[in-house]
Amino acid sequence: MPSPFPGVDPYLEHPDFWPGIHNLLIAEIARFLSPQLRPKYRVAVEVRMYETSGENSIGVGIPDITVQRRATASNPSMPNVAVLSPTAQPVTVTLPIPEIIKEAYLEIRQVETREVVTTIEILSPTNKRPGKGRQMYEKKREQILGSRTHLIEIDLLRRGEPMPVIGNNLDSQYRILVCRGNRLPAGDMYHFNIQDSIPAFPVPLSPEDSEPIVDLQILFNQVYDIAGYDMEIDYCREPIPALSETDAAWADAWLRDRGLRESC
């Protein structure tokens, strides 16, 4: 069954769900495009890897302990050793453990020349918060925008800092950016919110080729059904990250109309 929401399901931004959504959606877009692009192009699934060092952790803490040395004059038979005070207790701390991050994306390549014609990116939470993940993605984004390669950038995350655009302060929760390498610095921005369906968008190729249209809403619903999120998500609870007061009221009414909060 599809998600009960008209567009992006805000519950799927939860850290437990998003990695699966990201990878499945990448795979479904590739599956949809591949037969339309053959034999001139092929769709390659690529993975960007990097290591983080606990960028968002609280860091390393060292508990305070008291060391007392027993006086040798009072008991000369005892060796000079340090002992813990009976009142000293260890404190639990969190260490910044290095973590390998993997982010999948798509490249559409010409079969004959192996040239990358179009890159399709679905933003991850690490791309939208300060740190190495954003730095690496911004660097790659700048390289693409400085070339003739087309870029499609899909942002289905409410949390975090959106990728920059110039001259248009869009106030929306979600965005799909289509940049054609032969039209830069202009780009086409599809912006929408939780109440809206996900817009379809074209995939630019070489100028002489027709552009296939990706209906991302259909693919999103397919992914929701494949992974069985309807059996996993408790719609009686609030999503993580939380919705604004206005959106929370709208979501509550929307879910109640569909019988998903009758027993809450």
pLDDT for residue 80: 60
Q: Within a domain: residue 109?
A: yes
Name, in order, each residue with C-beta under 8 angstroms of 151's C-beta and a sequence gap of 6 or more: 118, 119, 121, 141, 144, 145, 177, 178, 179, 181
Q: Within a domain: residue 236?
A: yes
Q: Within a domain: residue 86?
A: no
- Quick one: pLDDT band at residue 93, thresholds 50, 70, 90? confident
- Quick one: pLDDT band at residue 67, thresholds 50, 70, 90? very low
Structural domains of the chain, count: 1
Question: How far is it, in rounded angstroms, from Cα 248 to Cα 239?
Answer: 9
Per-residue model confidence as pLDDT tens digits over 168-200: 667 899 999 999 999 999 999 999 999 999 999
Q: Within a domain: residue 88?
A: no
Question: How far is it, in rounded angstroms, from Cα 1 to Cα 23?
Answer: 19
Per-residue model confidence as pLDDT tens digits over 155-176: 999 999 999 988 666 789 999 9
Contact of 100 with 133, CB cutoff 8 Å = no
Nearest CA-CA partner of 105 in 62, 74, 136, 82: 136
Contact of 62 with 94, CB cutoff 8 Å = no
- Quick one: pLDDT band at residue 78, thresholds 50, 70, 90? low
Contact of 24 with 226, CB cutoff 8 Å = yes
The SS3 assignment for 259 reads coil
Q: Within a domain: residue 148?
A: yes
Contact of 63 with 91, CB cutoff 8 Å = yes
- Quick one: pLDDT band at residue 7, thresholds 50, 70, 90? very high
pLDDT above 90: percentage of residues in the chain: 73
Q: State which residues form the domain around 190.
A: 10-54+95-257
The SS3 assignment for 236 reads coil
Q: Within a domain: residue 253?
A: yes
pTM: 0.83
pLDDT for residue 1: 83
Q: Within a domain: residue 197?
A: yes
